[in-house]
């Protein structure tokens, strides 16, 4: 069996799906590994490290695409790459099947089995494969570092002979995986941190990190969706959050906003007035930018200056920390591979809850019910599969 590792082709992508340190268990099962030259260069893994770990390195991308039985990736393959895949191969990665299901048509038509890391059910058994959490952790950290770098102030309180400097005030919106990491990072840098989340359960985690949790009375509606996620709120409930955010923004130097509702556009929580109310030269990092952003002024991927406030809307912060982002992602991939590989042989049990949830398509047909429904609805509304 051949496992291929490609150099990611998406613009600005620096991560790699597997690092040389991940190879032992695969090689021990008799699996051959072929790596595209330069695949790990930005993630601290030069070609020589892959060779030393037991892989073959080649500049021939087409031969990897045509021969690999297993292809772990970071991002979805381009349609050009999909057209060269070996029929029946297995592709694993952040495939975005719910955002752009038809972007995978070519691979589905070639009977490639597609597993999407975003669709792995977030149950205890699959925690070690939870790449969304891994990348959110990296993004939460990097968002605070980016803000600290752009802020013309210091984060910690300093008591010097020249007088005392007040600590920076950081406001984190959405205390999920990314938000909690942002809080922890800002606290380590010495900032005073406040945080808001619609899920009351987040309060205890926020306080345990030494930050202040801001509560909003949502008028009795439940903000808890399934699996620890937030539910989509009514406009009235969202407005109560927006009012709190505008009030808190007025004394914040940095806002890091991460609020998301699975499968929905990011809630617009930060009004223009809130940005205008921030102190001069403040920084707002909108980590929800890939889902449209939490701020009504956000333009995903574009840095703006709004009346002196720097508004960052990064689309791929984990790619700015490629070594550790790749390390965490590679471990998630390895743990996933352990589910489908036994002694070097493929064992695809699509009755397994984790595999069935993550499987976009198998044997030319959609598997995950949400993806299947999306493809079917689009076919019914006249778009071609």
8 A C-beta contact, residue 102 and residue 378: yes
- Per annotation, catalytic residue among 47, 130, 197, 286: 130
Segment contacting ligand NAD by CB under 6 A, of 17-25, 58-66, 90-98, 230-238? 230-238
Residue that has been written with the tokens 């406040």 in this structure: 194
Pairing of strands 341-342, 2-5: unpaired
Q: Which of left, alpha, beta for 308 (phi over 0: left; psi -120 to 50: alpha)?
A: left
- For the four alpha carbons of 367, 368, 373 and 375, in that order, the dihedral sign comes to negative
177 binds ligand NAD (CB under 6 A): yes
261 binds ligand NAD (CB under 6 A): yes
- In the complex with ligand NAD, the residue whose CB is nearer, 89 or 313, is 313
Minimum Å gap between C-beta 200 and ligand NAD is 10
Q: Active site includes 150?
A: no
Residue that has been written with the tokens 């019910």 in this structure: 369
- Binding string to ligand NAD for residues 191 to 220, with x set by CB under 6 A, is what? -----xxxx--x------------------
Which residue of this chain has its Cβ atom nearest to ligand NAD in the complex? Answer: 176
Q: 11-27 b/e with 16+ CB inside 10 Å = b?
A: eebbbbbbbbebbeebe
Structure tokens at 193: 């941190």
Beta bridge partners of 113: 90
- Binding string to ligand NAD for residues 124 to 163, with x set by CB under 6 A, is what? ---x--x-xx--x---------------------------
- In the complex with ligand NAD, the residue whose CB is nearer, 65 or 173, is 173
Q: What angle do CA 74, 78, 84 make, to 5 degrees?
A: 105
Minimum Å gap between C-beta 198 and ligand NAD is 4
Nearest of 113, 115, 119 to residue 365 by alpha carbon: 113
User: Total residues contacting ligand NAD (rule CB under 6 A)?
Assistant: 31
- How many Å from the N-terminal Cα to the C-terminal Cα in the chain? 31
- Per annotation, catalytic residue among 63, 69, 105, 122: 122
CA–CA dist 129, 331 (Å, integer): 7
- For the four alpha carbons of 315, 318, 320 and 322, in that order, the dihedral sign comes to negative
Minimum Å gap between C-beta 1 and ligand NAD is 29
260 binds ligand NAD (CB under 6 A): yes
230 binds ligand NAD (CB under 6 A): yes
- Per annotation, catalytic residue among 111, 229, 279, 304: 229
Active-site amino acid positions: 122, 127, 130, 133, 229
Q: Which residues would be at the binding site for ligand NAD (CB under 6 A)?
A: 122, 127, 130, 132-133, 136, 173-179, 196-199, 202, 228-230, 233, 238, 241, 258-262, 267, 269
């Amino acid at each position: 069996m051949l496992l291929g590792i490609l150099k990611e082709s998406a613009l600005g992508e620096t991560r790699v799906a597997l690092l040389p340190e991940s190879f032992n268990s695969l090689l021990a099962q008799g699996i051959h590994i072929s790596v595209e030259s330069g695949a790990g260069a930005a993630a601290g893994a030069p070609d020589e490290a892959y060779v030393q770990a037991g892989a073959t390195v080649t500049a021939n991308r087409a031969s990897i695409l045509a021969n690999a039985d297993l292809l772990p990736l970071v991002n979805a393959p381009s349609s050009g790459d999909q057209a060269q895949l070996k029929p029946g191969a297995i592709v694993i990665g952040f495939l975005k099947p719910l955002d752009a299901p038809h972007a995978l048509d070519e691979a589905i038509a070639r009977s490639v089995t597609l597993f999407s890391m975003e669709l792995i059910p977030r149950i205890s058994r699959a925690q070690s494969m939870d790449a969304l959490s891994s990348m959110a952790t990296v993004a939460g950290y990097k968002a605070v570092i980016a803000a600290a770098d752009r802020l013309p102030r210091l984060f910690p309180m300093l008591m010097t002979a020249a007088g005392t400097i007040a600590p920076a005030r950081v406001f984190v919106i959405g205390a999920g995986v990314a938000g909690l990491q942002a809080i922890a990072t800002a606290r380590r840098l010495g900032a005073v941190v406040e945080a808001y989340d619609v899920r009351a359960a987040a309060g205890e985690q926020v306080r345990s990190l030494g930050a202040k949790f801001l509560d909003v009375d949502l008028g009795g509606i439940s903000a808890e969706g399934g699996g620890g996620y937030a539910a989509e709120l009514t406009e009235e409930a969202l407005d109560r959050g927006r009012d709190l955010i505008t009030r808190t923004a007025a004394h914040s130097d940095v806002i890091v906003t991460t609020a998301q509702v699975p499968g929905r556009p990011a809630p617009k929580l930060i009004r223009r007035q809130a940005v205008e109310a921030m102190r001069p030269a403040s920084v707002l990092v909108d980590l929800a930018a890939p889902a449209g952003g939490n701020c009504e002024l956000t333009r995903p991927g574009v840095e703006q200056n709004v009346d002196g406030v720097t508004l960052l809307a990064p689309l791929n912060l984990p790619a700015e920390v490629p070594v550790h982002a790749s390390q965490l992602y590679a471990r998630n991939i390895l743990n996933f591979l352990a589910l489908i590989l036994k002694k070097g042989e493929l064992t695809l049990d699509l009755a397994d809850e984790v595999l069935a949830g993550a499987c976009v398509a198998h044997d030319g047909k959609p598997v995950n019910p949400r993806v299947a429904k999306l493809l079917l609805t689009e076919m019914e509304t006249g778009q071609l599969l």
